[in-house]
Amino acid sequence: MCTLCGVVFGQFRFEHSEDRWILSNGVIEATFVHTERNTFEFETIRHLKTGDIWQAPEGALASPIRFATARTAVDAWIPVKLAGESVQAIDRRGMRQNIILDEVGGGFRIFLALEMYENQPVLRYSVKVKNLRDGDRRVRMADMLSWSFSEARNSFRTLRVSQWSTEPPQKNFEPKETLLKPDFTGEYTRSGASAPDCAWLAIRDAKDRGLFAGWEFDGRTEASVRYRASDGRLQLSAFIEDLNRLLVPNGEFQVPPAFIGLFHGDWDEAGFRTQRFADAVLAKAPPEEARFPYVVWDSWGYQTNIHEAMLRRNADAAAKLGVELFIVDLGWAMQIGEWRQDPAKFPSGLRELSDYVHSLGMKFGLHVAPAEASPESPVVKEHEDWLATEPFSYFGAKPLCLSHRPAQEWIVQQIVRLIDEYGVDWILQDGEHIVKRCTRTNHTHDPEDSNYSNAVEGLNAVLDAVQKQRPKVYWENCANGGSMMTFNMVKYYVTTITNDASGALGSRQAVYGATFPFPIRYTDRYMPENPTSTYATRSYMFGGPWIFMNRLADMPPEELALASSEIRTYKAMRSQLRDSKIFHLTAAPEAGRVDSIQAYNPAADTAVAVVTRDSASQNLHQLRLEGVLADRNYLVRFQDDRRIYVMTGEQLRRDGVPVGLPLLRSAEIVYIEPADRQPVEEP
């Protein structure tokens, strides 16, 4: 048993006589071997509780190591010597197996890290390579998801989820399930900043034995899963696009980490296991767990027509409603890229507003687009050579190259300065195509390696630098909407927008899809319409931070009263949402339908569901719950309806509970808890 640093969850064992590693955390077990042929190979990964096993194909070697130069491919077939191995305890209750391999012939040294974490059915891993030769070499290919499994006479379905995009064809987190063809043609997904899809995929067979995988890279990636029935091989891959990484002698290249996990069940189970792993191992810790996700107000309802007096009036209204975070969106600065307060809009100074917001008990946030600058801004006029070659513009701004060191250092200085000068608690990061394309030959990055450089040495470097200097300032990701949904993103931001102020139906559609791969706190929603009905408010209630984006100071009393009541309801249920398994009880929301989504907390054995009628013909919906224990009695109550039911879990699953939806556009919240926790009151 491993007891390093208080971690007790299994064993990592190296059998010297066979050069075999057996890694277990008590939930899954994975084995790897350095063979007599001097190859390093993956053998098996199994789920110790379900008995599901995935093993490498016979005669087709498999390894998580796969990269190549123009002349050399390094993978399971390449001979390597074992140069060292060790085990260490790591943060977040994890263990890491380090393995060092030297390519026979002295070309590359390979550092492989294999990680497992307490109670997680997941293997996380990363590969780093070092050039041991005297001359330069270029890595042209790196596979972050190099896995191959033996699967004879089987059939597979895959699930992937799109990102948000306003470019044709418009996308809004649509989940896509596909029956995998057995001819190896495969199912492909392209992820990263401004790509079509999230950086995640899940696979399951006809008996609901499944795999899920994610990769920790914000740059553009092409991933695939392919099955060839003729030789019984299931193969996964995730290639970094346009990779051309220069390695000088003794230079190193870090392949972004990735993870592969095991599940047994439906897509909700795949999502749940992914989310619990991401929350426990990868995600940036939230600012206040008891109060997060926040209720937020954002000034974009006024667009850029903001000023000090108007913002103060909205701050007064927001504080009375119970808003916890007050964000001043685009328009506060002199111009994009000149991140200094506009004195015409803030004659008393932006710090005065920030102090006033703090005095009302709220946190203060600012919109910043760090990789953008107006053509008329001083930074562009003085340093036009800092611009990237990215063709897209953001509100007419030009793109700054984050991986060009002078530009990067200036951006970091500006963000740290504005945090200190204006008393900022929260950064709303925005921009267009945030991982910029840049092929300039006069920049400090390699012009032939823009995708990797601008993701890792650009965006990541800026976030690392600012967050190291100002660790108590938290960041929200908004790449002009939810267009950078990766498992690297969750490491730097405490939340992310899904779609960009797209209305009640669009909000529900986005949350429906995004809660397959991502924890629910990474599904914040901008509510542009006024709270005129519970249909409007509850369309935004299920998810991460709830962001009001309307003109509070001009809102009539009846709408303010409804907003205040609904905010209290959200605050009472947000911890239940945050810590639960998400069940997608109906098909994705569409006009003319009733849709429902549920959060079930296994530890507390409680559930909450939001049911929404969107112009459907029926005014009664039979809600069938998931997750509840079949033989237990549950109390069922509603937010609006005064009825109370006591039903068994089996009844709730099989028969369901009737939910009244009297209006064409209406919504109801259903609460389920064990009946023995409180006495049942007559309706």
* End residue of a domain, out of 497, 515, 539: 497
104-148 residue pLDDT tens: 988 999 999 999 999 999 999 999 999 999 999 999 999 999 999
252 and 318 belong to one structural domain: no
Measured over all CA atoms, what is the biggest interatomic distance in the chain, rounded to whole angstroms?
A: 83
Q: Where are the beta strands (DSSP E) in 50-107?
A: 53-55, 67-69, 73-74, 80-90, 94-103
Q: Is the dihedral of CA 616, 617, 619, 623 positive or negative?
A: negative
Burial class (CB in 10 A: 0-12, 13-18, 19+), 642: exposed
348-369 residue pLDDT tens: 999 999 999 999 999 999 999 9
Rounded CA separation 35/41 (Å): 8
In a domain, 538, yes or no: no
Q: Tokens 């089996």 label which residue?
A: 650
Pairing mode of beta strands 233-240, 325-328: unpaired
From the list 15, 47, 8, 48, the residue with the least C-alpha distance to 32 is: 15
Phi, psi of 237 (to 5 degrees): -160, 160
Rounded CA separation 570/564 (Å): 10
230 and 338 belong to one structural domain: no
From the list 434, 493, 497, 433, the residue with the least C-alpha distance to 172 is: 497
Average pLDDT for 565-592: 96
Give yes or no for a contact between 247 and 138, defined as CB atoms under 8 angstroms apart: yes
Residue 290: pLDDT band with limits 50, 70, 90: confident
In a domain, 654, yes or no: yes
pLDDT of 683 > 80? The answer is no
Helix orientation angle between 350-359 and 308-321, rounded to the nearest 10 degrees: 10
Count CB atoms within 10 A of the CB of residue 442. 7
Q: How far apart are the first and last CA of the chain?
A: 54
Average pLDDT for 600-615: 96
Computed on alpha carbons and rounded to an integer, the radius of gyration of the chain in Å comes to 26
234 and 312 belong to one structural domain: no
Rounded CA separation 636/658 (Å): 11
In a domain, 543, yes or no: no
**Which pLDDT belongs to residue 680?**
38
**Which pLDDT belongs to residue 251?**
97
Q: Which two tokens stand for residue 452?
A: 């990797």
In a domain, 171, yes or no: yes
Q: What is the DSSP letter of 631?
A: T
Q: Please tell me whether residue 342 adopts helix, strand or coil conformation.
A: coil
Q: What is the 3-state secondary structure (H, E, C) of 161-206?
A: EECEECCCCCEECCEEEEECCCECCCEEEEECCCCCECCEEEEEEC
326 and 299 belong to one structural domain: yes
Least reliable range by pLDDT among 60-64, 94-98, 346-350, 473-477: 60-64
Give yes or no for a contact between 69 and 50, defined as CB atoms under 8 angstroms apart: no
Q: Which residues touch 30 (CB under 8 Å, ≥6 apart)?
A: 22, 23, 24, 42, 44, 45, 46, 114, 116, 123
Give yes or no for a contact between 328 and 306, defined as CB atoms under 8 angstroms apart: yes
Q: Which two tokens stand for residue 368?
A: 């910043």
Q: Can you give the CATH number for the domain in which 671 is found?
A: 2.60.40.1180
- SS3 helix, strand, coil % of the chain, rounded to 5? 20, 35, 40
Which residue segment(s) compose the domain that 627 sits in? 582-677
Count CB atoms within 10 A of the CB of residue 79. 14
Give yes or no for a contact between 328 and 310, defined as CB atoms under 8 angstroms apart: no
462 and 437 belong to one structural domain: yes
Q: What residue spans of 539-631 are helical by DSSP H?
A: 557-578
Residue 58: pLDDT band with limits 50, 70, 90: confident
Phi, psi of 35 (to 5 degrees): -85, 175
160 and 274 belong to one structural domain: yes
* End residue of a domain, out of 448, 474, 497: 497
Give yes or no for a contact between 280 and 489, defined as CB atoms under 8 angstroms apart: no
In a domain, 272, yes or no: yes
250 and 343 belong to one structural domain: no
- pTM of the full predicted structure? 0.96
* End residue of a domain, out of 282, 317, 332: 282
Average pLDDT for 235-244: 98
650 and 627 belong to one structural domain: yes
161 and 59 belong to one structural domain: yes
Cα–chain-centroid distance for residue 37? Answer: 40
Q: Where are the beta strands (DSSP E) in 135-291?
A: 137-142, 147-150, 156-161, 164-165, 171-172, 175-179, 187-191, 200-205, 209-215, 221-228, 233-240, 245-247, 252-264
How many structural domains does the chain have? 3
Pairing mode of beta strands 633-638, 665-674: antiparallel
275 and 378 belong to one structural domain: no
pLDDT of 679 > 70? The answer is no
pLDDT of 540 > 80? The answer is yes
Rounded CA separation 215/176 (Å): 19
In a domain, 179, yes or no: yes
Helices and strands (H, E) in the chain, number of each type: 12, 44
182 and 220 belong to one structural domain: yes
**Which pLDDT belongs to residue 106?**
83
Q: Can you give the CATH number for the domain in which 212 is found?
A: 2.70.98.60
Q: Which two tokens stand for residue 552?
A: 């509070």
Please give the helix or strand (H or E) that residue 412 lies within, else none.
Answer: helix 405-422
Residue 678: pLDDT band with limits 50, 70, 90: low
In a domain, 375, yes or no: yes
Q: Can you give the CATH number for the domain in which 359 is found?
A: 3.20.20.70
Q: Is the dihedral of CA 468, 471, 476, 482 positive or negative?
A: positive
Percent of the chain having pLDDT more than 90? 93
183-238 residue pLDDT tens: 999 999 999 999 999 999 999 999 999 999 999 999 999 999 999 999 999 999 99
From the list 271, 301, 253, the residue with the least C-alpha distance to 161 is: 271
Rounded CA separation 537/555 (Å): 15
251 and 370 belong to one structural domain: no
Q: What is the DSSP letter of 591?
A: T
Rounded CA separation 338/477 (Å): 20
- Beta pairing partners, 172: 164
CA dihedral 204, 113, 108, 146 (to 10 degrees): 0
In a domain, 682, yes or no: no
Q: Which two tokens stand for residue 419?
A: 């945090």
pLDDT of 166 > 90? The answer is no
